Structure 1
Amino acid sequence: MKIALFGATGRVGGEVLNLALAEGHEVTALVRSPEKLAPHDRLTIIQGDVRDVAAVSTAVAGMDVVFSSLGTDQTTTLTEAVPHMIRAMEDTGINRLVTIGTAGILQSKIDPEKLRYEAGDTNRRLTFAAEEHHKVYNMLRQSGLEWTIVCPTYLPDGVAVGDYRTERDLLPEDGKQISVGDTAAFAYGELLQGDNIGFRVGVSY
């Protein structure tokens, strides 16, 4: 499989990159700092900015699926980049997209008509990241793509142990955290298998 990867130098993206290469897939990664990635014979590195539509189109061209673990970092990079991904995928007939979101955009259990960050399920006072991911969720819902948004809760570093729970559109009951390794493992599996197309998926221990 040929995978376009955005966010390859980040924590989750880096783990997904390692999983994909270890299983023999070909990966094209668009990054600002190529020196952060180790060379590999099945890895094509494109230096560029995800906010540049031409760079995104180049990264997506000829791929089978797209994976994004782009975050917000108190910028609008995410919401500037995702429309370029959607356009590039639609232009080239690529349907499958898996992205990493945040548990804040899962449905609230306090008020099911709202998302967790809107209803106060989370203690986070700053909602900028959730608002940006909410915009992406709306973009994907309006697209014709086969998308899945993987929504981890608190995300400490850690290896994959496999003992986690998932739930469509909701955070598993009493879910408190999920390691970077297990988040990457679940998201990578979802990219290949497509078990939750058209859903946000809460993931936690």
Structure 2
Amino acid sequence: MKITLFGATGRVGGGVLKKALADGHEVTVLVRSPEKLTPHDRLTIVQGNVCDKEAVTEAISGAERVFSALGTDKTTTLTEAVPQMIKAMRAESIERIVTIGTAGILQSRTQPEKVRYEAGDSSKRLTFAAEEHHKVFDMLRQSGLDWTIICPTFLPSGGAVGDYRIGRDFLPENGKAISVGDTAAFAYGELMTGNHIGYRVGIAY
């Protein structure tokens, strides 16, 4: 399978990249700093900016599925990049995209008509990031693509142990953390299986 991956030099994106290559898939990544990646015979590296239409189009060309682990990093990069991904996917007739979001955009259990950051369920200091991810959620809902947003809560470093819970559109009750390894493992599995198309998926121990 041919996969395009954004955010390959990050923690979750790097984990998904390793799994995809180990399983024999061909992966194209778009990164600013290629030197951060280890060369591989099934890895194609496109150097560029994720907000640049031409770079995104080049990276997505020929793909069957798209994965994004882009974060906000206190900028609007995420909300500038995703529209370029959607346009390029439509042009290539690619339907499947999985992204990493934040637990703040899951529905609140105390006020189900609101998402968690709006209801005050999540940390106020993360409001900007949550707002950016919320905009991406709206973009994907309106895109017509087969999307899934994986929404981890607190993300400490650590490998995959497998003993976690998931919830469609909600964070599992009393979920406090989920390791980078388990987030990457679940996200990669969802990219392969498509068990939760059209949902945000909360993940936590």
Give the secondary-structure state (helix, strand or coil) at the position aligned to 2:87: helix
Counterparts of 1:65 and 1:132, CA distance in 2: 23
Structure 2 match to 1:25: 25
Structure 1's consecutive aligned runs of 4 or more residues displaced over 4 angstroms after TM superposition are none
Structure 1 match to 2:140: 140
Could you give the per-residue CA deviations for residues 125-173 of structure 1, whole angstroms, max 9, x where no partner exists? Answer: 3400000000000000001100000000000000000000000000000
Counterparts of 2:200 and 2:70, CA distance in 1: 16
Map residues 177-188 of structure 1 onto 2, 5 A cutoff.
177-188=177-188
Counterparts of 1:43 and 1:163, CA distance in 2: 31
Give the secondary-structure state (helix, strand or coil) at the position aligned to 1:12: helix
Counterparts of 2:88 and 2:163, CA distance in 1: 36
Counterparts of 1:123 and 1:141, CA distance in 2: 25
Give the secondary-structure state (helix, strand or coil) at the position aligned to 1:187: helix
Map residues 5-16 of structure 1 onto 2, 5 A cutoff.
5-16=5-16
Change in CA separation of 1:113 and 1:86 when aligned onto 2, cut-off 3 Å: same
Map residues 116-155 of structure 1 onto 2, 5 A cutoff.
116-155=116-155
Q: CA offset at residue 122 of structure 1?
A: 1.3
Gaps (5+ residues) in structure 1?
A: none
Q: Which amino acid aligns with 1:86?
A: I
Using the size of structure 2 for normalisation, the TM-score is 0.99
Structure 2 match to 1:173: 173
Give the secondary-structure state (helix, strand or coil) at the position aligned to 2:125: coil
Q: CA offset at residue 123 of structure 1?
A: 3.0
Q: How many residues align?
A: 205
Task: State percent identity of aligned pairs.
Answer: 73
Map residues 1-205 of structure 1 onto 2, 5 A cutoff.
1-205=1-205
Counterparts of 1:159 and 1:28, CA distance in 2: 24
Gaps (5+ residues) in structure 2?
A: none
Counterparts of 2:68 and 2:126, CA distance in 1: 23
Q: Which amino acid aligns with 2:53?
A: V
Counterparts of 1:199 and 1:39, CA distance in 2: 34
Counterparts of 1:40 and 1:49, CA distance in 2: 21
Counterparts of 2:78 and 2:123, CA distance in 1: 23
Q: Which amino acid aligns with 1:50?
A: V
Counterparts of 1:197 and 1:32, CA distance in 2: 30
Could you give the per-residue CA deviations for residues 99-125 of structure 1, whole angstroms, max 9, x where no partner exists? Answer: 000000000011111000000111333
